Amino acid sequence: MGVLACTAAAGLVLTAAPATAAPAESAYAIAASGLVKIPRTPSVSGAGKESLASVALPTPGPSLVGAKALNAAVKPGHAESSVAGLALNLGLLPTGAALPGLSAEVIEADCRDGKGSVSIANLKVGGKTIKLDQVAPNTTVPVASLLELTVNKQTKNADGTLTVTAISASLLGRTQTLDIASATCAKSQGDTPEPTKPGNKPQPGGKAPKPTPVPAHLDVTG
């Protein structure tokens, strides 16, 4: 299964056209660096969507990372990624130290118009449920002496884009890092302001301007 995942990840290389600016939006479901390296899987840059199902990463035998589904999707102004059925067997890392396992039903990151949000369902560390509700950006959750989680990690990039990562795990003093569900997007330039209409000009004598009727439509949800 590990071979399947790595092969699929390798096939997600996108080639940029010459003399074309790099897409602002991108997304990936999982990545790791350190003692164990996992490339961004699946990874999308520019409009597109990639998914993997029933993934085990990496190595034969017991798997360090398992997931039922990994998804990444991008369109102009919007990027999102998710991991369903996540299971991390951190005790398999060659550290010589005991580390707790981590699991979650669903972990999602969403970046839209330069604003990020995350959703995490039933996160457990070492079998203990970690309650996360309306988590502020860059919330640190120390769950073990050698394991720290940053939830709703948000980073402003040099090009003006925002990267939101649902969970960023640091192990053994950052000897090993693991990012779960990450999305990057740019802020839209906004609508061009409409020119001032004649009816909105100040009236002689300091009188209030004559209102100009404007048709409007309100979306109703419920």
- DSSP notation for 92-133: GSTTSS----EEEEEEEEEEETTEEEEEEES-EETTEE---S
The string of pLDDT tens digits covering residues 15-63 is 333 444 566 899 999 999 988 888 999 999 988 999 888 777 655 556 7
Judge whether 156 lies within some domain: yes
Please state, rounded to an integer, the average pLDDT across all residues of the chain.
77
Question: E-assigned strands of the chain?
Answer: 26-33, 38-45, 48-57, 65-75, 78-88, 102-112, 115-121, 124-125, 128-129, 139-144, 147-156, 162-171, 176-185
* Residue-range definition of the domain harbouring residue 73: 26-186
Q: How confident is the model at residue 220 (pLDDT cuts 50, 70, 90)?
A: very low
Judge whether 9 lies within some domain: no
Judge whether 83 lies within some domain: yes
Judge whether 79 lies within some domain: yes
Judge whether 6 lies within some domain: no
Residue 137 and residue 75: Cα distance in Å, rounded? 23
Lowest-confidence region among 29-38, 83-92, 146-155, 192-201: 192-201
Total domains in the chain come to 1
Judge whether 60 lies within some domain: yes
Judge whether 140 lies within some domain: yes
Read off the pLDDT of each residue in 191-199 and give the average, rounded to a whole number: 49
Determine the pLDDT at residue 59: 54
Tokens of 138: 């860059």
Judge whether 93 lies within some domain: yes
The string of pLDDT tens digits covering residues 106-125 is 999 999 999 999 999 999 98
How big is the CA angle at 28 (ends 76 and 69), to the nearest 5 degrees?
Answer: 115
Determine the pLDDT at residue 142: 80
Q: Sign of torsion, CA 62 124 127 99?
A: positive
Determine the pLDDT at residue 5: 39
Q: Return the higher-pLDDT residue of 10 and 43.
A: 43
Q: What is the CA radius of gyration of the chain?
A: 23
Determine the pLDDT at residue 26: 96
Checking if the pLDDT of 12 tops 70, the result is no
Report field, pTM of the whole predicted structure over 0.75? no
User: What proportion of the chain, given as a percentage, has pLDDT over 90?
Assistant: 44
Determine the pLDDT at residue 217: 35
